[in-house]
Amino acid sequence: MRLFRAEALFDGDGRLLRDAGVVVDDGGTVQEVGPIDSIRTGVSERHDVQVLMPGVVNAHTHLTDAEIERPVPGGDGLNAWVRRLLKRRDGRPDPEDTIEQGEPRRANGPSQSVALDAVAEVLRRMRQSGTVAIGEVCNGIATLEPILQSGMRTRFIQELLAFRSERAAPALEAAVEIETTARWNDRVLPTVGIHAPYSVSPELAGMILEHNTKRRRLTFVHLTEDPAERELYINGDGPWKEYLKELGAWDESWRAPGVAPIEHYDRLGLLGPSLAAVHLADATDDEIALVATRGVRVILSPTSNLHIGNRLPPLEAIVARGIPFALGTDGRGSNPSIDVFDEAGLLAERFESLDGMLLIQALTANGAAMLGFGELGRIAPGMRPGLVAIEVASLDGSDGDVARRVIIEPISRGAHPGG
């Protein structure tokens, strides 16, 4: 048994405990937590830290692009950025050509590949900085092997793309076949995701949601990330229609519903507590109100939104509506950071009135719940949250002040051996 004494402890449930103690067993399971004077469990080790919190959750990332060191240029909208990203991916080496060079790669589609060593290194660095779980989004399973080897808890999201309605059933059947035959374990859990309204037919979106809901897991979707998505659904035109036609993926029978994607998804019965909307960077106040009413989960990746389209998610509206949100770094094509603390830091700096305690919950309990890892995110008896030790210049001020200091200006931070 190990005792961790903390001058300040964030429990992940929205509380900051002063002069607290946590006892964990050799497997990292919390046995006791509370004021240090109340701890009664016998221990063999003791560690004194200034600030302690649960391990953090990166709820949305794309390790396919782990090898990218400098982001793909952005600033002119999602469609233009996607074109450049896919062009860069297409330029990667063929896996067969790299075997003799000792650079293991895995095919990810007909003309793309993933550098397995780069994925493993990113996962190592994530763990080192306190990340205990990720939501990995991949258009295949090229990143699965290094994830399994890393031991990182992962919700592995096979993200489907098929805008033509006749491709809906075959696309889901192929994903279910992989889901059934691939190697999983209790740390790496599968699901199927909707890429986005501009790349997935309503038929396929409904089929994916039904498939996941029957298995009691969330369906993740990039939603209202960029104005071009709205243009496609309201006017039936714009850069996404043009691009899908170039790819031979446009559905000539599709007709624009004349309303934005969020409203259209609601009319189809897709909005609800089984859906997790990622980004929402172009969402209006009314749309955020609808998301809140329907109980949709929310994941934000603000650094990526700024890089691609010079916009931030409507966080004030999200908070005003009481929507719990999680955070993710997105892919390295739009964000060089792999540290989800940086996402919280950006929001804390841009939204100065935001309660820092909400960001701590976003980093911990909210992300853990959305990915389906009930043992993570909270320091409480029976939980196995992992532990992050942090030092800051001062613990003075309100709980929210301390939380913001931990996020914006830590002196040191890292996963603690107790995790």
Phi, psi of 320 (to 5 degrees): -60, -30
Torsion sign over Cα 133, 138, 141, 145: negative
- Among the listed residues 374, 375, 378, 354, the one whose alpha carbon sits nearest the alpha carbon of residue 364: 378
Integer Cα distance of 68 and 121 in angstroms? 12
Task: Indicate whether 90 pLDDT > 90.
Answer: no
Residue 262's nearest CA partner among 285, 239, 243, 235 is 285
Determine the pLDDT at residue 41. Answer: 79
Gap between the Cα atoms of 291 and 273, Å rounded: 9
Please write the tens of the pLDDT for every residue from 390-400: 999 999 999 99
- Contacts of residue 53, defined as CB under 8 A and 6 or more positions apart, other chains included, come to 9, 10, 12, 360, 363, 364, 379, 387, 388, 390, 406
Q: Is the pLDDT of residue 102 over 80?
A: no
pTM metric for this prediction: 0.96
Beta bridge partners of 223: 279
Number of Cβ within a 10 Å radius of residue 125: 13
User: Average pLDDT for residues 323-339, to the nearest whole number?
Assistant: 97
- Of all residues in the chain, what percent carry a pLDDT higher than 90? 88
Instruction: Specify the pLDDT at position 419.
Output: 52
Average pLDDT over the chain reads 94
Task: Give the integer Cα–Cα distance in Å for 198 and 216.
Answer: 26
Task: Please state, as a whole number, how many other Cβ atoms lie within 10 Å of the Cβ of residue 329.
Answer: 28
pLDDT at 111: 65
For 138-181, the pLDDT digits (tens) are: 999 999 999 999 999 999 999 999 999 999 999 999 999 999 99
The answer to whether the CB of 366 falls within 8 A of the CB of 326 is: yes
State the pLDDT at residue 418: 55
Q: Which domains does the chain possess?
A: 2-55+376-415 (2.30.40.10), 57-339 (3.20.20.140)
The 3-class secondary structure across 342-385, one letter per residue, is HHHHHHHHHCCCCCHHHHHHHHHHHHHHHHCCCCCCCCCCCCCC
**Coil vs helix vs strand at 163:** coil
Instruction: Give the model's pLDDT for residue 101.
Output: 56
Task: Provide the residue count of the chain.
Answer: 419
Q: How confident is the model at residue 96 (pLDDT cuts 50, 70, 90)?
A: low
Rounded Cα distance, 399 and 92, in Å: 47
Model confidence at 270, pLDDT cuts 50, 70, 90, reads very high
